Amino acid sequence: MSSIRDIAKETGLSIGTISRYINKSGYVSKESASKIKKAIIDLDYVPNEHARAVFTNQSKLIGIVVSSLSNPFFSEMTITAPSLCNYPPLSEIKLNLRFNIYNMINHKIDGEK
């Protein structure tokens, strides 16, 4: 798995420039952008979402705790709830009561802001 450092090495550009391109923040010249795009494809780069969550303090995960998924209400709720959030794209972790809240905290579930 390649990293942002590998892309910087491949393109001869700084990590900051690569980061601005990936995060779509700040200016990146068209020439640099095309170099970065090619390197991302060639190196099969995939952003590390865990690192991004640590940096931004937002995991884009929601946790749903229900007593049982065999109950049709809770089953439907776990399917529908993520699509109702005003914060796409969200991933979801579905836990039942056999797990505990510590697991959600450990996965850095986003809280209400």
Selected residue with higher pLDDT from 111 and 50: 50
Please classify residue 35 by burial: count the beta carbons closer than 10 Å to its beta carbon, then call 0-12 exposed, 13-18 middle and 19+ buried.
buried
The residues, ordered by sequence, that sit 6+ positions from 104 with a Cβ below 8 Å of its Cβ are 63, 65, 93, 95
The Cα 39–Cα 4 span in angstroms is 10
The token pair that represents 73 in the structure block = 């209400």
Measuring CA to CA, which residue among 55, 41, 47, 37 is closest to residue 4?
47
Q: What rounded mean pLDDT belongs to the chain? A: 78
Question: What stretch of H or E contains 66?
Answer: strand 61-66
Task: For 39-63, write each residue's pLDDT tens digit.
Answer: 999 999 988 777 777 777 777 777 7
pLDDT of 65 reads 74
The Cα 95–Cα 7 span in angstroms is 37
pLDDT of 6 reads 95
